């Protein structure tokens, strides 16, 4: 074979290769010589790799693709600032004594009495004339689904679990008025005494919603708005226009 033949064979093969690599389908990249260099093998949690581009991967089909998120990660709830701040990890730690009794898997523990410190925590979910109805409606539903079997629909501590004798020692909310919102949250979140932790059952926004609900069970006027006063109770609400407050005091 002489040089000319080699050159013409090379030219022909390169031309054939180039022409073949094009495709008339505008959505197709054509012939791919090294697909794993531009197709990322990265595992994406919500992608089902059981079927890729018409090809079936029997080994990975029907496997769990979404992985359990690590402890302490923040769920994504849109871009609403208040919504996001309610979902940040709870700053208060569980007491070391809770570790075995209340299933504190993955929680940070401390010997400090954070329950007492939680007395200073305010409910970050503020009631306004616009949102109170929705908050109490949701709070009632959450309470009926998660708490009333022990605490009773009226919060008097006489739920069906108490009445049929399978549980004891549930307090009447009327006797818990001294507890601050922050302490209610702490006890619901980590549990207390014979009550288990609810941190894995309901989220923080839901717990703060239930805290409002407990307050309205304790005081039927709690969170009631009318046209003259912004709220019938002494609860301070962030969104009260300043003028209204000043008028009230004069
Ligand atoms: C399995 C029964 C049971 C369930 C379910 C339950 N509780 Fe309790 N709860 C108790 C008992 C028992 C106590 C008394 C704990 C103690 O003081 O030792 C208690 C105490 C409380 C207290 C007082 C905490 C404190 O700091 O003194 C609050 C507030 C409370 N529960 C709210 C709730 C809410 C809200 C729910 C639903 C999300 C709920 N509980 C679900 C049994 C239960």
To test the ligand 1 pocket, which listed residue (192, 196, 203) has its Cβ within 8 A of the most ligand atoms? 192
Task: Check pLDDT > 90 for residue 83.
Answer: no
What pLDDT does 248 receive? 43
Closest residue to atom 12 of ligand 1, CA basis: 170
Q: Which residue has the higher pLDDT, 208 or 86?
A: 208
What pLDDT does 135 receive? 97
What pLDDT does 189 receive? 96
Of the candidate ranges 71-80, 102-111, 172-181, 197-206, the one whose mean pLDDT is the lowest: 71-80
Is residue 125 in contact with ligand 1, taking CB distance under 6 Å?
no
What pLDDT does 245 receive? 41
Dihedral Cα 91, 96, 100, 106, nearest 10 deg: 40
pLDDT, one tens digit per residue, over 113-162 is: 999 999 999 999 999 999 999 999 999 999 999 999 999 999 999 999 99
Task: Check pLDDT > 60 for residue 225.
Answer: yes
- What Cα–Cα distance (Å) separates residue 74 from each residue in 55, 86, 90, 126? 35, 10, 11, 21
What pLDDT does 89 receive? 85
Q: What share of the chain is helix, strand, coil (3-state, %, to 5)?
A: 40, 5, 55
Is residue 205 in contact with ligand 1, taking CB distance under 6 Å?
no
Nearest 5 degrees, angle CA 109-CA 111-CA 117? Answer: 95
Across 72-98, average pLDDT: 84
Q: Which residue has the higher pLDDT, 250 or 215?
A: 215
The domains located in the chain, with CATH, are 3-56 (no CATH), 81-249 (1.10.760.10)
Q: Which residues pair with 192 in a beta bridge?
A: 195
At 81, is the pLDDT very low, low, confident or very high (cuts 50, 70, 90)?
confident
Task: Check pLDDT > 50 for residue 234.
Answer: no
In ligand 1, the atom with minimum distance to the C-alpha of 183 is: 26
Give the chain's mean pLDDT: 84
Helix (H) and strand (E) counts in the chain:
11, 4
Distance 119 CA to ligand 1 centre (A): 17
Residue indicated by tokens 């979902």: 87
In sequence order, which residues have a C-beta less than 8 Å from that of residue 213 and are 6 or more positions away? 136, 139, 140, 142, 143
Distance 217 CA to ligand 1 centre (A): 14
Tokens of 27: 């959505």
For the chain, state the CA radius of gyration: 30
Distance 157 CA to ligand 1 centre (A): 9
To test the ligand 1 pocket, which listed residue (171, 180, 211) has its Cβ within 8 A of the most ligand atoms? 171
Across 168-190, average pLDDT: 96
Identify the CA nearest to 146 among candidates 132, 156, 159.
159
What pLDDT does 146 receive? 97
Beta strands 55-56 and 51-52: pairing type? Answer: antiparallel
pTM to 2 decimal places = 0.71
What pLDDT does 177 receive? 95
Q: Which residues pair with 109 in a beta bridge?
A: 94
């Amino acid at each position: 074979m002489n040089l000319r033949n080699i050159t013409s064979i090379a030219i022909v093969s390169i031309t054939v290769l180039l022409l073949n690599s094009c495709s008339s389908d505008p959505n197709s990249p054509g012939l791919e010589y090294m697909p794993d260099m531009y197709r990322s093998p990265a595992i994406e949690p919500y992608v089902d790799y059981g079927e890729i581009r018409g090809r079936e991967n029997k080994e990975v089909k029907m496997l769990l693709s979404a992985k359990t998120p690590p402890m302490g990660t923040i769920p994504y709830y849109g871009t609403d600032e208040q919504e996001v701040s309610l979902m940040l990890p709870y700053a208060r730690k569980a007491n070391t004594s809770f570790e075995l009794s209340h299933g504190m898997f993955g929680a940070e523990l401390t010997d400090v009495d954070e329950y007492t410190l939680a007395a200073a925590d305010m409910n970050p979910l503020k009631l306004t004339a616009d949102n109170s109805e929705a908050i109490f409606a949701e709070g009632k539903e959450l309470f009926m689904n998660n708490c009333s079997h022990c605490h009773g629909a009226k919060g008097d501590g006489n739920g069906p679990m108490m009445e049929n004798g399978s549980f004891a020692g549930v307090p009447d909310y009327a006797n818990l008025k001294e507890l601050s919102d922050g302490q209610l949250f702490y006890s619901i979140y980590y549990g207390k005494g014979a009550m288990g932790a609810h941190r894995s059952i309901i989220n923080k926004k839901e717990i703060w919603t239930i805290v409002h609900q407990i307050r309205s069970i304790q005081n039927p006027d709690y969170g009631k708005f009318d046209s003259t006063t912004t709220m019938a109770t002494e609860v301070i609400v962030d969104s009260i226009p300043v003028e209204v407050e000043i008028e009230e005091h004069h």
